[in-house]
Structure 1
Amino acid sequence: MPIRTCRLRSVSLLLFTLLLTPAMVFAAPSGNSLLIYCGITMVRPITDIARLFEKQEKVSITIAQGGSEDLYQSAKKSQQGDLYLPGEPVFRTRHLPEGLLGEYRGLGFNQMALMVQKGNPKKVKPDLKELLRKDLSVVLGSSESGSVGVEARRILTQTGLYPKVAAKVVQMLPDSRSIMAAMRRGGADITMSWRATGYFPDNAASVDVLDLPPTVAPPQELQLTLLTFSKNPVMARKFMAFAAGPQGQAVFRRYGFITTAKSGQ
């Protein structure tokens, strides 16, 4: 699958816009540069933060975007890159024993929510059992590729609803971007997605967000992780600190994320 790239105004940030596959290998950026593997949901804030950081540090940043699992497998295969930002901690926990993931900084939280068509024309309640209504068409994320599908499956499995919901979905989609595109097209009445995506400007006009209680959908920390094979770990750590600092956190809040000052090892 080819990768399309586009030059951003005023910075030298290359944005990978197609989903990477685990078998795909690409060259690392040359010179004073960073390569960041970023889950789909966080691409917008990370892109804005990268613009600011590039200007401050005179460094070029490349962002590879896709499903969190696919991105990890691409990094593992290529052994190229500096930072990895999956949509939830399970991807760090799952792959930590392989030795490719080093220290991390917490950038905020993802949290799942129900989303319905704008104005909630079918009077959906903020209750997971609504996904079983016969008059509602449902799309979900696939748990094979992205964090949004992994988290939806985990939540629905804990409540005993996953087999029944999975049996009635009209589509299993790879990531939050494709889920929200389906909602904008009117391809479904309801979905589960990361709540911040419902407040992105291109989605907010098409969907309403129905928040779920934290006991049902606990916030999941966004862990920006240093790759142990990074060729520019000093600059990568500076970016981690910048993204977790006041300017980076302000950007995440602007995109609807819950932010935090937590960091870890």
Structure 2
Amino acid sequence: MIFGLLSLTVYFLNRLVFAPQQPVPKKELLVYCGITMIKPISVIAAILEKREGIKISIIKGGSGNLLRSIRFNRQGDLYLPGSESYIRQAKAEGLISKSVHVGYNKAAMMVREGNPKGFQQNLDAMKSPNHYIVIGNPDSGSIGKETKRILTSAGIFEDVMLNVKELTTDSKRLIEVLKDGEADLVINWHATATWPENSKLIDSLPIDAQYAKKKRLMLGLLSTAKYPEIAKKFMDFAASDNGKRIFDSYGLYQVD
């Protein structure tokens, strides 16, 4: 009996001493990112993962929907919406402690490549019942919110709403309806028309500068950040010259 107990003791001691070391879990950042900025943020995340030996998870979606998720979940480290107004709102609610400027957005009208219906750079085309018009939902994403602001400033928001065939959640869907031939004209973030997968299929028509203005892109540090010092390193890189070049390569910095 004693021999059996000694054998078990030795067995478990050996397990403790010689058991393979379990890898220490990597520190992980959670980033909430608007659809239009997902490409540069993914590039920056890959650089920081390698440099810092961490894992970075990205949740993408409409900026308004992301803010609702942040409010509900009360977790995460960074938030990059498509409009600075969401950052101001989140700061007012105590959800963000700090933010940095990383790029610019600007809205434009978009049509299928070659502009087959001959649209002019005139917002009044959005009112015509002869065209299939799609815009973003002001309650779900930054492009919808900006579209409402532009059309209201031009005094035609209500007229356009009577003519709109679909309200989409985000910029990705606005690209899809043009590519698939479901829409004649949309308003979307200009940057999306510059991406290689879109540039040969979609044309961008500038909107008069009195209505469509450059919008600052601000990256916010969430008050729920589990690793705020690492999150700040992400912010510092995104706001650096190298970070700005990455944003610019996706049409999100040098905006006319």
TM-score (norm 1): 0.84
> After superposition, where does 1:113-128 map in structure 2 within 5 Å?
113-128=108-123
Distance 1:259 1:228, change over 3 A: farther
Amino acid at match of 2:171: S
Contact kept in structure 2, 1:115 and 1:208, CA below 8 Å: yes
* Alignment partner of 1:255 out of 247, 250, 254: 250
Q: What is the alpha-carbon distance in structure 2 between the residues aligned to residue 248 and residue 164 of structure 1?
A: 41
Q: Distance in 2 between matches of 1:121 and 1:134?
A: 17
Which runs of at least 4 in structure 1 moved beyond 3 Å after TM superposition?
A: none
- Equivalent position to 2:95, from 75, 100, 108: 100
Partner of 2:133: 138
Which residue number corresponds to residue 4 of structure 1? Answer: none
Distance 1:214 1:225 in 2: 27
Question: 2:202: which partner in 1?
Answer: 207
Pair 1:228-2:223 in alignment: yes
Deviation at 1:194, TM superposition (A): 0.4
- Conserved in 1, the CA contact under 8 Å of 2:128 and 2:163? no
Q: Which whole-Å CA distance do the structure 1 matches of 2:48 and 2:210 have between them? A: 36
161, 168, 190: which one aligns with 1:173:
168
Contact 2:244–2:253 (CA under 8 A) maintained in structure 1 = no
TM-score, normalised on structure 2?
Answer: 0.87
CA contact (8 A) 1:138 1:170 kept: yes
Alpha-carbon distance in 2 for matches of 1:235, 1:148: 30
Quote the RMSD (CA, aligned, Å): 1.4
Q: Identity rate of aligned residues, in percent?
A: 38
Q: Which residue of 152, 156, 177 corresponds with 1:157?
A: 152
Structure 1 unaligned segments of length 5 or more: list them: 1-29, 261-265
Are 1:41 and 2:36 matched, yes or no?
yes
- Give aligned pairs, total: 231
Distance in 2 between residues matched to 1:91 and 1:173, nearest whole Å: 18
Q: CA deviation at 1:76?
A: 1.7
Give, in whole Å, the separation in 2 of the partners of 1:35 and 1:178.
Answer: 24
> 1:111 pairs with 69, 82, 106, which one?
106
| Per-residue deviation, residues 89-119 of structure 1 (Å, max 9, x unmatched) | 1112223221111110101111000001100
Greater percentage in helix: 2
> Deviations 1:162-216 (Å, cap 9, x if unpaired)?
1111111111100000110111101111110000011112211211001123321
CA contact (8 A) 1:107 1:259 kept: no
- Asked if 2 retains the 8 angstrom alpha-carbon contact of 1:109 and 1:219, the reply is yes
Segment drifting more, 243-252 vs 151-160: 243-252
Q: Secondary structure at the match of 2:31?
A: strand
In the other structure, the counterpart of 1:19 is none
Output the CA distance in 1 between the equivalents of 2:37 and 2:70: 18
Q: Structure 1 residues 63-72 or 210-219, which shifts more? A: 210-219
Deviations along 1:16-44, one digit per CA (max 9) or x if unpaired, are xxxxxxxxxxxxxx641210000111011
Structure 2 partner of 1:16: none
